Amino acid sequence: MTQSGRQVSARFPDFPWDTLAEAKAKAAAHPDGIVDLSIGTPVDDAPAVAQDALAAAANAPGYPTVLGPEAMRQSAVDWLRRCYGVTGLGPEHVLATIGSKELIGNLPVQLGLGPDDLVVIPELAYPTYEVGARYAGCRVIAADSTVALGPERPSLVYVNSPANPHGAILGADHLRKLVAWTREHGALLVSDECYLEFGWDAAPATVLHPAVNGGSLDGILAVHSTSKRSNLAGYRAAFVAGDASVIGELVAVRKHLGFMVPAPVQAALASVLADDGHVAAQRERYAARRAALRNALESAGFRIDHSEGSLYLWATRDEPCRETVAWLAELGILVAPGEFYGPAGARHVRVAFTATDDRIDAAVARLTAG
């Protein structure tokens, strides 16, 4: 291994999905083929409104701006007001990002955080929160309760609702207390709200709502993506909104580094934020897939925990998660072991319902056979 390779290995954990090679090969050997429910990748078509906007803006010979045009940022403001009752937000509070993973992965370093800074992530969490903090050299603590931090004073706190991997939804009261705590301790609160439109058993809340933040955006950011709601994972179209001073700091850094969303993608982003119909249709597709898969898993002896929102079922057979992965692979079904997301997930698996209808039907048939 090269010296640079050793440095990368020291800074970052192994890429978790690389450890699924054996299970993936086993599932792929099924006579009817693999049903891959391990990664929440959209499989349905990108909406026509996005494709049309992308094509119309395709002649883009000049450089886009880092901040994004005001019309695009206003579309985000309008969407949040229209669908979630957010007020007090203007275009100056919004920044286009090259997908939400890029923003989360680079956020600590772009904010100038380092070894003297503590980043708090959920106990069960999207791995990029930790990876981004490690990239900046920060210390990381996984904690769902501020009490667990004791005298520690974090610089950055992540919250995710509806959550990946387990789909739990935090209510407005919980978020309100978290906003107050982070402000009291001088921390930036970053709320990953990429699954906000997929609340199944409860209504998700955003930290941008004045009932949660007290009418002030100070010290808070909310991350939003069109990958799930609009099937635009391939476009890398997202935005972050909140504290204007933090947005300004990010813009200044990103100008130097060249973090720019392509102009045609910015046009597509604005188009899907202005159109609610395609999101409602996609919700119906996912609701049907979720119901079918949940019933099949329960009939096969699984218990589904949390899973009030997002695009995953948090399932367990009360055994080590790798045993469950292997059992499902024998049926040609690939899922993600819960340990990918933290030690607390060691006896669960994450089951995505982002596969096509025919693949979901195949999984259901295999789980309920005999």
Split at pLDDT 50, 70, 90, the class of 172 is very high
* Whether residue 295 sits in one domain with residue 266: no
Which of 227, 257, 274 delimits the end of a domain? 274
Q: What is the pLDDT of residue 150?
A: 82
* Res 6 pLDDT > 60: no
Query: Residue 2's pLDDT band (boundaries 50, 70, 90)?
Result: very low
CATH number at residue 72: 3.40.640.10
Q: What is the mean pLDDT of the chain?
A: 95
Whose structure tokens read 């809340």? 205
Say if residue 145's pLDDT is above 60.
yes
Distance between the two ends of the chain, CA-based, in angstroms? 50
Q: What is the pLDDT of residue 147?
A: 76
Cα-Cα-Cα-Cα dihedral sign, residues 244, 204, 83, 128: positive
Residue carrying structure tokens 């705590």: 181
Together in a domain, 219 and 81: yes
User: Is residue 14 over pLDDT 80?
Assistant: no
Q: At what angle do helices 128-135 and 100-110 cross, to 10 degrees?
A: 30
Question: Residues of the chain with pLDDT > 90: what percent?
Answer: 92
Q: Are residues 101 and 85 in the same domain?
A: yes
Into how many domains does the chain fold? 2
Residue 143 predicted with pLDDT over 80: yes
C-alpha angle with apex 145: 197 to 352, nearest 5 degrees? 35
| pLDDT class of 11 with cuts at 50, 70, 90 | low
Distance separating alpha carbons of residues 269 and 227, to the nearest angstrom: 10
Asked if 251 and 328 sit in the same domain, the reply is no
- 14-23 contacts, C-beta under 8 A, 24 or more apart: 16/127, 16/336, 16/340, 17/336, 17/340, 20/325, 20/334, 20/336, 20/337, 23/325, 23/326, 23/329, 23/334
Averaged pLDDT for residues 138-143 = 96
Average pLDDT over residues 98-121: 98
Radius of gyration of the chain (CA): 21
61 in the same domain as 29: no
pLDDT reported for residue 348: 98
pTM of the predicted model as reported, rounded to 2 decimal places: 0.94
Claim to verify: residue 315 and residue 244 sit in the same structural domain: no
pLDDT for res 148: 78
User: pLDDT of 309-347, one tens digit each?
Assistant: 999 999 999 999 999 999 999 999 999 999 999 999 999
DSSP code of residue 175: H
Residues 180 and 296 in one domain: no
Question: Which residues form the domain of 270?
Answer: 48-274
End of a domain among 274, 306, 331? 274
Q: Which residues pair with 242 in a beta bridge?
A: 221
**pLDDT of 148-157, one tens digit each?**
788 889 999 9
- What's the pLDDT at 19? 85
What pLDDT digit, counting tens, does each position of 215-229 carry? 999 999 999 999 999
CB-based contacts of 177, cutoff 8 Å, min separation 6: none
In single-letter form, the type of residue at position 22 comes to E
What local confidence, expressed as pLDDT, does residue 370 receive? 60
Q: Which of the listed residues 274, 307, 323 is the one where a domain comes to its end?
A: 274
Q: What is the mean pLDDT of residues 293-304?
A: 98
pLDDT of residue 177: 97
Per-residue pLDDT at 75 exceeds 90: yes
The Cα–Cα gap between 124 and 18 comes to 20
**62 contacts 268 by C-beta, under 8 angstroms:** no
